[in-house]
Amino acid sequence: MNTVLVVGPVLLAVLLVAALTVWCVTRVRRLDRLHRRVDAARAGLGAALARRVEVAGRVAAVLEEKRAGPLRTAARTAAATSAPAPDGRDPAGARQAREVAENALTRQLADADPARSSRALSAELADAQQLVILARRVHNDAVRDTLGLRSRRLVRWLHLAGTAPVPVYFEIVDPEPGGTSPVADVDSASRPSVR
């Protein structure tokens, strides 16, 4: 009867340790997946921003010099500022400098009106702007999910995030195609579709 009293608490302790171990392993795997998702989203955001800079250069080429100069300068500044390192480090405030440069480019693009020169270029700019909006939202959603899991009490206490850097949001003003009017895709008077 003495062994039954000892086996009960020992078995309970073993089950508790096993349950905690399984919980920790699942959280570590989830954190790893979330950090990989942030990395992929950061790369996608970088590609979208680079494409927008390229399209901004082509827009500047068709504008009059009064508007083209500031747009070219903003595009060069945005292209020259480096994004945070892939491992999440932010050397010398690179993320903040990139956010400021991208916001300046957004303002310059809003003042530009490529619709007067080329319909194709206007559509390409609108596409690049939408891609930036989507990529930024995907990135910030991944950061939000990762920070949410990292902020849980047991995850913090047990240091389950390891040495992974804390991801940060990329905050810029959502670009809007300035001066562009919706273009109908279909010649239907009852239901026109717009881009």
Which pLDDT belongs to residue 2?
58
Q: List, for residues 137-167, the tens digit of each pLDDT value.
A: 999 999 999 999 999 898 888 888 888 888 8
Q: How does 136-168 read in b/e, with b if 16+ C-beta sit within 10 Å?
A: bebbbebbebbeebbeeeebeeeebbeebeebb
Q: Is residue 6 assigned to a domain?
A: no
Q: Is residue 37 assigned to a domain?
A: yes
State the total domains in the chain: 1
Structure tokens of 122?
């206007």
Q: Domain range for residue 138?
A: 11-157
pTM for the whole thing?
0.77
Q: Is residue 192 assigned to a domain?
A: no
Which pLDDT belongs to residue 191?
41
Highest mean pLDDT among 25-34, 74-83, 112-121 belongs to: 25-34
Q: List, for residues 40-96, the tens digit of each pLDDT value.
A: 999 999 999 999 999 999 888 888 888 788 888 888 888 888 765 656 666 666 778
